[in-house]
Amino acid sequence: MADPIDWTSLLGTLGSSAVGAVGTNYAANQAADAARQSAQQAAQMAQFRPVGVTTRFGKSGFNYDPTTGQLVGAGYQVAPDVAALREGLLGMAGTGLGQAQQIQGIQPNINEQARGLFNLGAQYVAQTPQAAAQQYMTQQQQLLAPGREQQLAQTVNQQQQQGRLGLATGGTTAGYTTGGQGLQATNPQLAALYNARAAQDAQLAAQAQQAGQQQVQFGQGLMTGGLNLSGQGFGLQTQALAPYSQYMQGATGIENQAANALTYGQGLGSAGAAQAQAAANQYAAGQATANAAQRAALQGTVAGLTDPISALIKGLSATPTGSGYQQAVNYASTSPYGWLDF
């Protein structure tokens, strides 16, 4: 025959373990709720709360969600007289922009003229200084040719009338070397005429070399002038755009002065947020300590309740009708936990 079950020991163990587990779970839930509420309060304390600021130029404003209290909007309003100044500058900026656009419209014509100068200069530069010198020499001799012919004809006619046309002097039989040919006799007046022409041609040759160099420099000047002309056109555009830029800068400065109210409000809110965060941290730390103590107290209280309940279960197992049963009934009727239905 099997040994009888020790119901007293079994019920005492089960009762004590079950009640202890339920008490521990209850204490943990209570501590979690307290920690959650503490975290929510700390988060609300640390929320960023900018401050509305009013200055001479404008005022700032902020909108918050009525349910969560979180910041959902921000803006600023410009003072009426300041706004009028801003609009006036913006109107002048529009006029200045129109003037700049007019100057920009003539830039294509300026570029065309500049291109013509540049191409003309390129033609001068394309000819070498030697070729330019030869061209200069040819042109000058061509200019002198008619006058020289008339001068020679007048000299010959004068000598013929005076009977000196065949006169020749200065001839020699000896040359500059032994056995060399002597010097030719010449007409003194005609010799002087041709010698003067030779000197003139030599002078023209020297001038032709300078003229060739000057022609290249002249071509470079034309090309540079074309580039400068185009650049000056763009410079006019920059100058014409300056009034627009200044008006816009003035209007922007006024707008920024009004927007400073929003910046100031944000700055004050940031300073306050730092202090609120520190306060929230202190609050959270203190509350965490309090929550831990509360949880320990709840667990201790529940643990203290397991002994009488175990005793109750033990008494019930001793006799269903005896003094132990009556004690259980009396305990249940007087216990603050009410009647326990077994």
Would you state the pLDDT for residue 262? Answer: 81
Would you state the pLDDT for residue 326? Answer: 52
Summarised one tens digit per residue, pLDDT across range 143-152 is 999 999 999 9
Would you state the pLDDT for residue 37? Answer: 72
Would you state the pLDDT for residue 177? Answer: 79
Do 136 and 207 meet the contact criterion of CB atoms below 8 Å apart? Answer: yes
Rounded CA-CA distance 7/28 in Å is: 31
Would you state the pLDDT for residue 87? Answer: 93
Where would I find the H helices in the chain?
7-45, 80-105, 107-126, 129-162, 188-318, 323-334
Summarised one tens digit per residue, pLDDT across range 100-134 is 999 999 999 999 999 999 999 999 999 999 999 99
pLDDT exceeding 90 applies to what percent of the chain?
38
Would you state the pLDDT for residue 182? Answer: 77
pLDDT band at 302 (very low <50, low <70, confident <90, very high): low
Count of residues for the chain?
342
Question: CA dist 157 to 76, 150, 164, 194, 198, Å?
Answer: 107, 11, 10, 16, 22
For the residues 255-273, what does the mean pLDDT come to?
77
For the residues 169-190, what does the mean pLDDT come to?
80
Reference 245, options 92, 105, 104, 57; nearest CA is 92
Q: How many CB atoms lie within 10 A of CB 313?
A: 22
For the residues 210-232, what does the mean pLDDT come to?
93
